[in-house]
């Protein structure tokens, strides 16, 4: 392992969603939940979770209300756990 040779991460590799991406997503979604159309408790969500290699790009970031965001997280995390089990065996 090389030490001290790590390149600085590009913006799209960051877990943080840039202001420009947020703005573009908000325009696309008309500032509504992209699943149910709710205007309340909106959150930015990684469609492919960051922990699974999802990037903070306009194609992977969506705006969801807290209800849909929670549901999406449950689906994504259980899928991630299933993948871990599959890879272990
Ligand atoms: Zn929703």
Separation CA 86–CA 80 (nearest Å):
10
Q: How many whole angstroms from 14 Cα to the centroid of ligand 1?
A: 25
Q: How many whole angstroms from 41 Cα to the centroid of ligand 1?
A: 9
Q: What is the pLDDT of residue 81?
A: 85
Domain borders along the chain are: 14-88
Average pLDDT over residues 3-10: 55
Contact 42, 22 (CB under 8 A): no
Q: Is the pTM of this model over 0.75?
A: no
Separation CA 73–CA 59 (nearest Å):
18
Assess whether pLDDT exceeds 60 at residue 10: no
Q: Regarding the domain delimited by 14-88, which CATH topology (the fold level of the hierarchy) does it fall under?
A: DNA Binding (I), subunit A (1.10.30)
Q: How many whole angstroms from 40 Cα to the centroid of ligand 1?
A: 8
């Amino acid at each position: 392992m090389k030490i001290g040779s790590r390149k600085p991460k590009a913006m799209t590799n960051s877990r943080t969603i840039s202001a420009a991406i947020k703005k573009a997503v908000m325009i696309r979604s008309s500032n509504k939940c992209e699943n149910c159309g709710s205007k309340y408790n909106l959150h930015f969500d990684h469609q492919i979770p960051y922990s699974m290699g999802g990037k903070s790009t306009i194609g992977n970031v969506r705006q969801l209300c807290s209800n849909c965001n929670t549901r999406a997280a449950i689906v994504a995390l259980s899928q991630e756990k299933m993948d871990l089990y599959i890879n272990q065996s």
